Structure 1
Amino acid sequence: MVTKPLLGMAPAVLYLVSLLCLLNLAGADRPVGPDPIENFCSRWWLQSTIKNDTLYIDSGVQKFNASNSTYLGTNTYIMTISLKKSWNWKKDSGDPQFMEVSTEPKNITNNDTGTYVPNNFRGYMFSGPHNSSQVYQFGGSTYMYNQSFVVKPAPSSFTYPLWTYTPGSGPLDTKWDQYDMNQEIKWEPNHGAGADAPDLGLGFYLNGQVDKGTSSDTNKLFDDTDQTYYRPVDGMLVLDLVNPGKAKNISTSTMKENLSRVGGTLDYIPSVGKSGILVALGGQIQPTLQNGKASSKEGKLIDFGSVDVFDIDSYLKNPDSNGKWYQQKTTGEIPPPRIDYCSVSVSAPDNSSHHIIIYGGQNPTLGQPAYFDDVAVLSLPSFRWKQMWSADTPRWGHNCHMAGKQQMITVGGNFTTNTTNPRCDWLKKGVAIFDLKERRWGSVYNSNSGDFTLHDQLLPSTNGTANGNATIGEPVTGWSSVELHKLFWETRWTRPTSWTSKAPPEDATEQQPTTSSTGSSSSDTSSPGNPASNTAAIAGGISGGVVCLGVILAALIYHHHRRRNKPAELPDNHIHLASQTDTPEKQKSHNFELQGINENNPVELDAWKYIEADNCTATGDAAELPGTNQVPGAVPGMPILRFPGDDLPVVPENPGGLRKSASRGSRSSTGSASSRRASSSGGSRRSRESRRSSTAPITGP
């Protein structure tokens, strides 16, 4: 029964009393959003990963279908799907192949700090080291569009960009923990590109952005609730996931275009190089900013005509450096540029080829945005693109992972041009399966799909078989860098034995680009370290003169052999040595080689550069031997030894015309440190150390 004093309360007081009663019933936890499975309409820009045969799906923008109405909000649950058994997402409950999705709400706070577990979108989820059961949630932004959503979107501090979730039984609030990254980053980024290196215990996060939903500070700088505007973020973070909270920010200024990217991808190929490589694809850049801000509907997209390759070992050898990036041209059926697509990578069983598969995406920079529904594959080391599949049901803002060894599983995605009122997804559980062997989409996940085999469409990119055996070990256009060539010939695992392309010479330097069978060299024959530019050393002393002559002859023969495929002497079957006594008519009646400009005698084309001889001459001192030593009556091709005191012949000027071709050039572990886990202090934890990188700090507003 309601008493009269209560009936006399003002409506506002009644509301507060009711709210207090609800809080008392629900404890201190904030409200939880609708069930993401029962009320599913569509979901995109989520975080997901696979670890220990379990697919984890976290947060993301979601369109809910509840009470005969649809509305936008945020998924406030973490979900898991077992990959230990086969399933079919089309099957109903009770069927042996039913796909069961487990959910756990995230309306709880961390016990140590009282900070709510975030429900972000456009972040990245790392699987982390194999010997850990945790998964790692990094970055992201608060979705700000629907301010009336039950879990009111209000961005918090960016102090804790890294959270860990530990699966298993026990209280939910003990499963989540947070880390402040030693203040290595100034802002919590989102929409960047992430890559997992579980065998190294590392995570990589490339560039990204900050926007209205990043933090309570950036919320004041933007007034667009649809989060169209943002500020690009520089650098690549290297996260130590063995000791969460430790990270380093390194510069990416040597990447293609030298501008921060959003919406691209980053793939880890563990078997290339001494510690693996990262391959960065796509993304959107902003050549010009307005007051430091950019619009997602403007700017420029990174094309797929070349890719950026990062040598992880170059960083691990010297963590104080920024590591080494390379750019390599691609060929084949190059897909159109895009962002918000997904990618996975897989290698042939014998390690002779590697394949990066991309799917879907969008181009928001066009007057009429473009959306994609295709699957394209970039094969390495041929760096050749192949379009494997296409249709007319676009999808963007999704993730994809290798499930088993033959299937790619996609998670979430939007397929409409209207982001404020998207249609419901035809994938009722938000996942789909693409079989790489059969080259088709389906609803069945096969937990026993066997080893990865190449589809017939990929064989021209490898010139091998379905099980590997690639014979192509280089790009069609040749290597852009001798160091990149050498990197692909290094491996922690089994070196491919089927490649027929040439290995990079051991003494190659970066100043001497290599040349593939279809490319051309740009190195100079006089470059330091080039064996073709030097003759053999000669034993010193007068008594060793004969030996010196023999060595020089051998070197010249070898040098001539190296030059056999280059422009040199013109072939002639009737070589005639010209004489000064010959009449003009007699000279014209004979065929003979091109003449030098200082002698009427046959000489080689453009052989006027000096050839170095070390201190092996008769006097023991270094002397210069012109490569065109000729005297009247000398035999072409035979060296003229001159000793101190002899008059040297005149060195001919550069005859111009043809030039001989440039010579062909040739070709850890992480430091472990204890994690700097934030300590509790009045509901907020900050690291007592500030280890901001001096190389390339991430800049914020």
Structure 2
Amino acid sequence: MNVLAEHRVRSTSTECPQLWLSILKKALLALFAVHSVTAKNPRDNFCRRFAHQTTVIDDKLYIDGGWVNFDGFAQDHLNSSNTWLAYHDLNKTVNRGGELWPDLNISLNKNDSIPTVHGGVLWGDDVNKRFYLYGGEWNLGYSQEPYHILSYDILYDKWDDFGTPNLKPPPNIASYGAGVGVSQTGMGYYYGGWISNASMSGWTQPRKMSSSFYTYAYDTNTFTQAAVPDKSPRAEGAMVWIPVGDYLGIIVYMGGMVMPYGNDTVAPQPLDEIFVFDAAGNSWSKQKATGQIPQNRRQFCIDVAWAPDKSSFNIYLWGGLSMPPPVVNTTSFADVYILTLPSFTWVKVYPDHHGNATLPPEYGHYSSSCNMIKSMSQFYVIGGTYSDTDACDLAYIPWAQHNLWTGTLNNAGDNDTYWALYNPNVTSNVVPIDVYSVVGGNKEGGATLKSPKDGFDVGNRPLMDQLGKRPSFPQRTPTREITVPTPTPSKTDTPQDPSDPALSTGAIVGIAIGSVVGLTLVAFVCFSIRRKIVRRREARRQSQVTQVSYSGYSGYSGSTAGAMSTILSRHASMGRWTMRSGPESPPPPCELPTQPDRDMAVISELPQDRMYHGEREYEGMDTKEDAVHPDGVPSP
């Protein structure tokens, strides 16, 4: 909100009304400031978040875009655009409801020139201390401008625009595709997704699924359209990078939906068909997986941890939205599976480990984010939305942070408790007993099952060879000077527990109203002082008029100065209008600083997937009182 100008008129006949008009304006500004102070944000008014994009760099988990539900969601059902760029500091824990969780900072720079999107990806570059935003649908209507390669500079808290992609024709920008960024090789990958006028400026066709696969080289700012596994469009699946094969490693893609018949018929991409991309060879393989195959799903999240000796690579899958057929008795999922390579074996680990138990429907959720943190010791889930309840996230107090131990509780290797409190001091990874009981070896590795149980599919000898290689990846050199700026104290250094807030909304409103009263008193004092000054000037003026008249009577030839002119000028640099007067300026006004309102748009419903489902999406989760599952295991 721009500062309102105070228009001052030198005439004593209009000065009092103008001054009180100014006081009224300032009072209104104060009321707007109350609104600004009490406007909800994802730190202080959190209920749940979803469809965001994340990356981890230097033990900070960055969260961009997506949707946020604030407290009161059960009544208002509003999905608010998350215009904040935030991060969880994985090395700094704070008390949240009696537990220690990584702190949340929402003060990073993100102005209106940076689009807020959902269903995109952040390609992280740990070497150059930045990440790139790719894909996603604009939260507020249509995509308003052609895609530019936008990168957030972590060191200097600013965004850089690297221009439009140098690919001809330009990439078709999509949302809810599969993406992964790889710091070790300096590459970003994105496959499939939905193309629409919300994801791509100038798109005039109906929303459709993409069959394109793009790569992006960080250091050269170069896009490439890479090979695809087939011509079938795909969306809402997921991919990870694994350090095997040649110098660029391999990409593993799974799940989501596919259009296999060349028309608009959508089918699930079965999770027993795993696609592998040889990044150096620009070629794909498809391999059949066995074991406890997860039910078909989309909008789930995955990440990978490997054994200390790299004898097995274990991809953790969490949650997701049901994708029939077959029809299951749940809309979304709250289970965890591990796909272990190179044996391509699925292992169910939660709930009930290898059994068939499921959780009640209200626990199922999707559109979460998953990241391996602390040297792959922990699998970190942020948020998600729920299909069977309007309640807030079970972990709404710690901002929907959910922690799974990849080697089981504190990575003991032989423990079977997966979901447990975060611990920043554990920085080593081991294999869980659910995996090494299937592939052999122990928690340190030593897997003996090094190929699929029934062998590799026909024609997959190159894939077998790639999975047998353990390359050393060259050390990347930063392409810019990397300095570590002196840290400045954060506004969130000492956050409060929600059960013991520093200030309630009522207190804030009371302070604001008190400020208005105080402002009025100050304005009254200003008015009184100003009136005295005006009276003195009037007295001097009358005295001068008397002297002039007397001098004229005696033959004196003279005149008084004319009325001072007032010139209206626009101060562009200040963004406001002010008044300039003649040589004698009026008494200084009593100024009121204003606080701009946060640009936060709110919608009541999100667009449905018009080509597949019509069920209501983006629902809630359970309350904190139900934070323990029926089996006694802490809730994810």
Which TM class, normalised by the smaller chain length?
Answer: 0.5 to 0.7
Q: Distance in 2 between matches of 1:440 and 1:176?
A: 43
Q: Distance in 1 between matches of 2:109 and 2:330?
A: 35
Task: Name which of structure 1's ranges 463-472 and 360-369 shifts more when overlaid on structure 2.
Answer: 360-369
Equivalent residue, structure 1, for 2:185: 200
Say whether 1:403 aligns with 2:370.
no
Say whether 1:179 aligns with 2:186.
no
Whichever residue aligns with residue 233 of structure 2, its letter is: S
Match of 2:395 among 423, 427, 447: 427
Whichever residue aligns with residue 224 of structure 2, its letter is: K
Q: Distance in 1 between matches of 2:424 and 2:161?
A: 32
Whichever residue aligns with residue 73 of structure 1, its letter is: S
Q: 1:149-164 counterparts in 2 under 5 A?
A: 153-160=141-148, 162-164=149-151
Give the TM-score taking structure 1 as reference length.
0.56
Deviation for aligned residue 1:468: 0.3
Equivalent residue, structure 2, for 1:487: 466
Say whether 1:191 aligns with 2:176.
yes
Q: 3-state DSSP class of the match of 2:234?
A: coil
Task: Name which of structure 1's ranges 83-92 and 485-494 shifts more when overlaid on structure 2.
Answer: 83-92
Distance change in 2, residues 1:138/1:309 (3 Å): same
Q: 1:133-144 counterparts in 2 under 5 A?
A: 133-143=129-139
Q: Distance in 1 between matches of 2:109 and 2:92?
A: 27
Equivalent residue, structure 1, for 2:43: 37
Whichever residue aligns with residue 309 of structure 2, its letter is: D
Contact (CA 8 Å) 2:251, 2:279: kept in 1 or not? yes
Deviations 1:148-173 (A, max 9, x none): xxxxx45312332x31111245xx6x
Number of residue-to-residue matches in the alignment: 434
Deviation for aligned residue 1:177: 3.0
Distance change in 2, residues 1:348/1:88 (3 Å): farther
Q: Distance in 1 between matches of 2:101 and 2:109?
A: 25
Question: More relative contact order in 1 or in 2 (CA 8 Å, sep 6+)?
Answer: 2
Q: Distance in 1 between matches of 2:244 and 2:223?
A: 24
Q: Distance in 2 between matches of 1:90 and 1:31?
A: 24
Q: Distance in 2 between matches of 1:270 and 1:287?
A: 30
Q: 3-state DSSP class of the match of 1:84?
A: strand
Distance change in 2, residues 1:156/1:33 (3 Å): farther
Residue segments in structure 1 that go unaligned for 5+ positions in a row: 6-17, 110-115, 145-152, 223-229, 315-322, 495-667, 675-701
Q: Distance in 2 between matches of 1:198 and 1:186?
A: 22
Distance change in 2, residues 1:449/1:131 (3 Å): same
Distance change in 2, residues 1:343/1:98 (3 Å): closer
Whichever residue aligns with residue 342 of structure 1, its letter is: C
Q: 3-state DSSP class of the match of 2:91?
A: coil
Give the structure with higher Rg (CA): 1
Contact (CA 8 Å) 2:85, 2:110: kept in 1 or not? no
More helix by share: 2
Q: 1:319-330 counterparts in 2 under 5 A?
A: 323-330=282-289
Distance change in 2, residues 1:99/1:91 (3 Å): farther
Q: Distance in 2 between matches of 1:217 and 1:365?
A: 33
Whichever residue aligns with residue 377 of structure 2, its letter is: Q
Equivalent residue, structure 1, for 2:440: 463
Q: Distance in 2 between matches of 1:331 and 1:263?
A: 22
Whichever residue aligns with residue 431 of structure 1, its letter is: Q
Q: Distance in 1 between matches of 2:240 and 2:215?
A: 14
CA RMSD of aligned residues (A): 3.7
Contact (CA 8 Å) 2:49, 2:66: kept in 1 or not? yes
Contact (CA 8 Å) 2:147, 2:201: kept in 1 or not? no
Whichever residue aligns with residue 131 of structure 2, its letter is: V
Q: Distance in 2 between matches of 1:216 and 1:32?
A: 35
Q: Distance in 1 between matches of 2:336 and 2:79?
A: 29
Q: Distance in 2 between matches of 1:416 and 1:141?
A: 21
Q: 3-state DSSP class of the match of 1:458?
A: helix
Q: Distance in 2 between matches of 1:70 and 1:489?
A: 51
Deviations 1:473-524 (A, max 9, x none): 2111111222222222222149xxxxxxxxxxxxxxxxxxxxxxxxxxxxxx
Distance change in 2, residues 1:33/1:311 (3 Å): farther
Distance change in 2, residues 1:232/1:35 (3 Å): same
Q: Distance in 2 between matches of 1:341 and 1:190?
A: 14
Say whether 1:356 aligns with 2:315.
yes
Equivalent residue, structure 2, for 1:117: 114
Task: Name which of structure 1's ranges 398-407 and 271-280 shifts more when overlaid on structure 2.
Answer: 271-280
Deviations 1:641-672 (A, max 9, x none): xxxxxxxxxxxxxxxxxxxxxxxxxxx999x9
Q: Distance in 1 between matches of 2:425 and 2:84?
A: 29
Q: 3-state DSSP class of the match of 2:214?
A: strand
Deviation for aligned residue 1:451: 2.1
Q: Distance in 1 between matches of 2:178 and 2:39?
A: 28
Whichever residue aligns with residue 423 of structure 1, its letter is: A
Deviation for aligned residue 1:259: 1.1
Q: Distance in 2 between matches of 1:489 and 1:669?
A: 22
Q: 1:651-670 counterparts in 2 under 5 A?
A: none
Contact (CA 8 Å) 1:195, 1:203: kept in 2 or not? yes
Equivalent residue, structure 2, for 1:286: 259
Equivalent residue, structure 1, for 2:577: none
Residue segments in structure 2 that go unaligned for 5+ positions in a row: 1-5, 15-24, 352-358, 409-415, 481-636
Contact (CA 8 Å) 1:89, 1:99: kept in 2 or not? no
Equivalent residue, structure 1, for 2:103: 100
Match of 1:453 among 430, 433, 437: 430
Contact (CA 8 Å) 2:232, 2:262: kept in 1 or not? no
Whichever residue aligns with residue 329 of structure 1, its letter is: K
Say whether 1:412 aligns with 2:383.
yes
Q: Distance in 2 between matches of 1:364 and 1:379?
A: 23
Equivalent residue, structure 2, for 1:309: 276
